[in-house]
A and B are shown apart, each in its own frame.
Chain A
Amino acid sequence: MNRIDNKKNVKSTVIALVCILAFWGILLLIENLNLILPNVPKLFTPTSKLFMVLRKVIVYSLIAVSMNLLNGFTGLFSLGHAGFMLLGAYTFAILTTPVSLKVPVDGIFYKYGGSIVNFSLQEAFGSIFGNSGAGGAVSLVLGVLVALIISGLVAALFAYLIGLPVLRLKSDYLAIATLGFAEIIRTIFQCEVIKLPGGGELVLGKLTNGANMIKGFPTLNSFNITNATGQTTLYLSTVVPAIIVTACIVVIVLLINSTYGRSFKAIRDDEIAAEAMGINLAKHKILSFCISAFFAAVGGALYAMFATTYQAKPFTSVLTYEILLIVVTGGIGSVTGSCIGAFLYIACSEWWLRFLDEPMMIGAFQVPLLKDGFRMVVFSIVIMIVVLFFRKGIMGTKELPDLFKKRKVKAKTEGTVTDNAK
């Protein structure tokens, strides 16, 4: 029995790997289609809406999945994701903004006399591997990856500290407390100077640039490979984030399918029963909270790379709500659902429903209602319909493979039952 299971596992792993590689390959291909074919449709040119949407979808998928890990798989209704994203984005930007922008006078930190983090990771790597050609690429990728991991760890640390007291709360109280913490984090990052009671000053602006914009850090477009004349020879700005995000999601999926993941689900289904079965509630809750914060922060950092410039202002509770609505549309408790939800959400709001914002004429008849903002009204009505009448979302708790092998799953569960009986 065990051997068959192993074979099956190997087989499904191989299928999954092939699918992922195929996904990366297709993405790479369509992104570079305009380099191979001379006259591609406008849709496939690198500046088209398609790639903008794809990049945003990729980033949002990770954030939605990380929220789903917490809300869908562990049953902890947390609304603090904007805060973790903000932590990730800031840590990433502070660590990677070039030193030339951190100088006291002309840099972006000019208001505070320069930044106190007087180095930048990819430049530090650049001094080892060289700044141009292959060495430059290596130092860029290493710098970005290390910065992403550090930003995740910072958020996880914060999540641990927040989680210690907060995770004792139940359902809606937890939601409100995490929402409150996200707001506190945002206020602190927007604050410029704290006057200490002893008369000293803590100039936070030196670290966070106050409420001002941070820019100049590596963006997704930095991954494109250009030749000496500045012409792009290979577009990688969609593929690289896709690779990072897929790797993160694979880690989350592996976690969900592990013993820890099963404990998370047990806690979601019934806390008291889970405790009775010997699951350490506090430990597992905080673990789930920290991991979710880690990936939310990585997502937040990628979001900063996507947006190229950012400040603390948009990381409000509305952002958390958006992600929550993505998770709900996709199906609470389904990783595939979150990715599909992110795609539909972003594609609709950024692309497919855009026409609702433009005045439209059919003949001499002006279509009523169409003007700026109507898209979001239609969009939120659609979301309300999903929330009210399709509560399970698109996928429910199913994953992509479940759609293909319904019968096999049934047979398998029967098999394990008899196995246990022996």
Chain B
Amino acid sequence: MQSMITTLLTGISVGGQYALIAIGYTMVYGILRLINFAHGDVFMVAGMMLIWLAAILPLPVAIPVVIAITILLGFCIERAAYLPLRQAPRMSVMISAIGVSYLLQNVITYLTGGQPMTYPTIPFLAQTVEIFGTKQTMATMITLPAVILLVVALTFLINHTKVGMAMRAVSKDFETSRLMGIKINNVISVTFIIGSALAAVGSVLYFSNYPKIVAVSGALPGLKAFVAAVFGGIGSIPGAVIGAFIIGICENLIKATPYSVFSDAFTFAVLVIVLIFRPTGIFGEKTLDKV
């Protein structure tokens, strides 16, 4: 019973961390129709940044600085690698995203010398709390409320502010919204900024469960968060969050069975099954191909 509770709670917290990354994927896809392959690596860079900054700054200062740097990184990637390809075919932009991912991984490998880096212990997140007779870390417990808070804030931003309205307009129709006087590039930048900020928060929560991180640490959570986004219906924020929770919980349930080696394969199997039977996901909108 206790192990069951632990599994579930871990699943919920991992799901929440995936949700924070998945929102970045889904928002970018909703507006640019681009799978931002570099997003997982941005997530990893945020983790690395905290390692370096925690060495020179006190943690309460370091974490906001990390979030700021990640935002800057996301913004720069968009401006440098995706903006020049706005008129190019979608395949080129995706290749560019893969290139950015390759670049970020190589830069981090260079800077770390390929060595695993020890993630600093964040005292607040590492403390244990007792719940239903099981001991959990604060990081596990705080994820769910944090995700709910951030998603509510994000939903408010999208539904009740001018920027949010512009985002919704751009995701509906690129060209028309440009004619309506929306500065598309600014809207896209805001999307990347929000996505990166959430990824930075997610990285703090995610990596504090792991002792060490390496240059490819972002790839797998990135892919899983992407699967979650597809599962929920790519382009839809509630979809991404729910998808992420389902993936996170299922993955941890499988890890508790003898089939634990297949927990990663399971994620991709889910992806393939969803894509085959309902390519638009749970909440996705159906699109029609026009000749």
State the A residues within 8 Å of B (CB).
Answer: 77, 165-166, 168-169, 171-173, 175-177, 179-181, 183-184, 187-188, 190-191, 194-195, 272, 316-318, 321-322, 324-325, 328, 332, 371-374, 376-377, 379-381, 383-384, 387-389, 391
Contacts and interface: CB of A to CB of B under 8 A. Distances in A.
Contacts of B262: 187, 191
Nearest to B289: A272
Interface in B67-124: 80-81, 84-85, 88, 90-92, 94-96, 98-103, 105-107, 109-111, 113-114
B18 interface: no
A171 B265 contact: no
- Which 10 A-B pairs rank lowest in CB-CB distance, beginning with the nearest? A180-B268, A373-B110, A376-B106, A380-B103, A187-B265, A165-B276, A184-B265, A387-B99, A380-B106, A180-B271
B133 to A, nearest CB: 30
A188 B259 CA distance: 11
Nearest to B105: A318
B261 A187 contact: yes
B107 A377 contact: yes
Contact of B110 (A194, A374, A387): A374
A329 B130 CA distance: 55
Contacts of B98: 321, 324-325
B23 interface: no
B103 A387 contact: no
The size bracket of the interface on B is 35 or more
Contact of A184 (B227, B269, B291): B269
Given A171-B91, A188-B265, A387-B92, A325 B102 contact: yes
Given A171-B90, A176-B35, A391-B92, A321 B265 contact: no
Given A183-B268, A187-B265, A383 B99 contact: yes
20 contacts: A171-B91, A172-B90, A172-B94, A173-B230, A177-B271, A179-B268, A180-B267, A180-B268, A187-B264, A188-B265, A318-B102, A328-B95, A374-B110, A376-B106, A377-B103, A377-B106, A380-B102, A383-B102, A383-B103, A389-B84
B258 interface: yes
Given A376-B110, A377-B110, 15 more contacts: A166-B276, A171-B90, A172-B35, A176-B226, A176-B227, A177-B271, A177-B275, A187-B261, A187-B265, A322-B102, A372-B113, A374-B110, A381-B103, A383-B102, A387-B99
Contacts of B90: 171-172
Nearest to A388: B84
Given A176-B35, A325-B99, A388-B84, A190 B261 contact: yes
A336 B78 CA distance: 32
B279 interface: yes
A373 B275 contact: no
Contacts of A316: 219
Contact of A317 (B100, B113, B114, B219): B219
Contacts of B92: 387, 391
Given A183-B268, A184-B269, A388-B84, A169 B279 contact: yes
Contact of A176 (B33, B99, B100, B271): B271
A54 B89 CA distance: 34
A313 B289 CA distance: 39
Contacts of B103: 377, 380-381, 383-384
Contacts of B107: 377, 380
A376 B279 contact: no
Given A169-B275, A180-B227, A184-B268, A379 B106 contact: yes
Interface of B: 33-35, 80-81, 84-85, 88, 90-92, 94-96, 98-103, 105-107, 109-111, 113-114, 216, 219, 223, 226-227, 230, 258-259, 261-262, 264-265, 267-269, 271-272, 275-276, 279, 289, 291
B96 A388 contact: yes
A15 B244 CA distance: 58
A324 B114 contact: no
Contacts of A371: 110, 113
A353 to B, nearest CB: 12
Contacts of A194: 259
B95 A324 contact: yes
A334 to B, nearest CB: 15
Nearest to A327: B95
B265 A165 contact: no
B99 A165 contact: no
Contacts of A376: 106, 109-110
A175 B94 contact: yes
Contact of B100 (A165, A188, A384): A384
A230 to B, nearest CB: 38
A387 B96 contact: yes
B272 A180 contact: yes
A27 B217 CA distance: 42
B275 A173 contact: yes
Contacts of A172: 33-35, 90, 94
B91 A373 contact: no
Contacts of B95: 324-325, 328, 387
A175 B91 CA distance: 10
Nearest to B262: A187
B275 to A, nearest CB: 5
A168 B268 contact: no
A184 B267 CA distance: 9
B153 to A, nearest CB: 29
Contact of A384 (B81, B223, B265, B267): B81
A321 B158 CA distance: 34
B291 A372 contact: no
A384 B276 contact: no
A321 B35 contact: no
Contacts of A391: 85, 88, 92
Contacts of A389: 84
Contacts of A179: 223, 268
A386 to B, nearest CB: 8
Nearest to A182: B268
A195 B259 CA distance: 8
A246 to B, nearest CB: 28
A176 B102 CA distance: 17
B269 A373 contact: no
A374 B113 CA distance: 10
